Amino acid sequence: MKNTKYTLLLVVLVGSLLPLHAQKFQGLALTPPMGWNSWNKFACDVSEELIRETADAMVATGMKDAGYEYIVIDDCWQVSRDSLGFIVADPKRFPSGIKALADYVHAKGLKFGIYSCAGNKTCGGRPAGRGHEYQDALSYAKWGVDYLKYDWCDTEDLNAISAYTTMRDALYAAGRPIVFSLCEWGNNKPELWAKEVGHLWRTTGDIYNCFDCVQNNGTWKAFGVMQIIDKQDGLSKNAGPWHWNDPDMLEVGNGMVSNEARAHFSMWAMLAAPLIAGNDLRKMTSETQSVLANKEVIAIDQDSLGIQGFRYAVKDSVETWLKPLNNGAWAVCLLNRSTSPRVVEINWKTFSVTDSLSNRILDTTTREQYKIRDLWLKKNIGDTRKTLKTTIPAHDVLCLKLFK
Which residues are known catalytic residues?
151, 206
Closest CA to 135 of 14, 236, 256: 14
Query: CA 338, CA 147: separation in Å to the nearest integer?
Result: 38
Using H for helix, E for strand and C for coil, what is the string for 172-197?
HHHCCCCEEEECCCCCCCHHHCHHHC
Query: Who's near 74: CB < 8 A, 6+ residues apart?
Result: 37, 38, 39, 42, 43, 46, 115, 149
Phi/psi of residue 383, nearest 5 degrees: -145, -175
Query: CA 401, CA 150: separation in Å to the nearest integer?
Result: 35
Q: 157 and 164 in contact (C-beta within 8 Å)? A: no
Label residue 79 exposed, middle or buried (CB < 10 Å: 0-12, 13-18, 19+): middle
Q: 264 and 228 in contact (C-beta within 8 Å)? A: no
Query: CA 182, CA 228: separation in Å to the nearest integer?
Result: 17
